[in-house]
Amino acid sequence: MSFICSLDSLTTFASSGNLTQVDHANVAVSNGMTSLGIKATNGVVIATKKAAPSILVDETSTSKIALASKSIGMTYAGVGPDFRVLCDKGRKEVQKYWLEYKDQMPVSQFVRELAQVAQEYTQSGGVRPFGCALLVAGYDDQGPQLYQVDPSGSYWAWRASAIGRNDKSARSFLEKRYDPKMEIEDAIHTAILTLKEDFEGAMSESTIEVGVIRADREFKVLTPQEVANYISEAQ
């Protein structure tokens, strides 16, 4: 009986109106490494800090940016395995859409499906909310799109946003630097400069990842050499 009650308590509102497990999930997000996204006039860039858990880990085997489809990429802050599960669920939705309509899934619909999954995990017994927030970048008939999805299942479209450990300072920096008329190259430089503010030591191509989608609607993760070139330009 106590076990059943404990399951119920995970999905019951506290007297303050909060779901305690969602609050804990948001703490997991705030403890994650900073990720950010910027929407330009002709594309979207997402960038994220990363670090291997040990110097013995092969850095090429870890990645914080994933493709959900040819035209949609995403990154996260928080718990990595939870992100992997959401990626798999999102990719299944993309394939279902393709099988039915023979077309790429609109970014807003993709985000809505992911947010629905996240919300269901806040009200179901035997599960917990996902401990990660997502930044989703894509390009469809509506143009470049940037969305943020939180553990609660809330989602918004953004011009520029940041999640993770230093999201407030990163957003403050973006508010000062963001220009609605900026193009994708300027957005990439701004993203790297924003992450650079978060580094105590030297920033390198092994400590950040950058993903870009342009008007060709093909999401690409920049190679380490391309990232290194952008970092050197930002020095």
Domain of residue 121 covers 19-25+34-234
Does residue 3 belong to any structural domain of this protein? Answer: no
In sequence order, which residues have a C-beta less than 8 Å from that of residue 170 and are 6 or more positions away? Answer: 34, 36, 162, 164, 194, 195, 197, 198
Could you write out the DSSP letters of every residue in 138-173? Answer: EEETTEEEEEEE-TTS-EEE-SEEEESTTHHHHHHH
> Band of the pLDDT at 200, cuts 50, 70, 90?
low
CA neighbor of 127 nearest in space, from 46, 47, 19: 19
pLDDT in tens, 50-92: 987 888 888 778 899 999 999 999 999 999 999 999 999 999 9
Q: Provide the 10 A C-beta neighbour count for residue 130.
A: 30
The verdict on pTM exceeding 0.85 is yes
User: Domain total for the chain?
Assistant: 1
Does residue 40 belong to any structural domain of this protein? Answer: yes
CATH of the domain at 148: 3.60.20.10
pLDDT in tens, 131-157: 999 999 999 999 999 999 999 999 999
Does residue 114 belong to any structural domain of this protein? Answer: yes
Q: What is the 3-state secondary structure (H, E, C) of 64-105?
A: CEEEEECCEEEEEEECHHHHHHHHHHHHHHHHHHHHHHCCCC
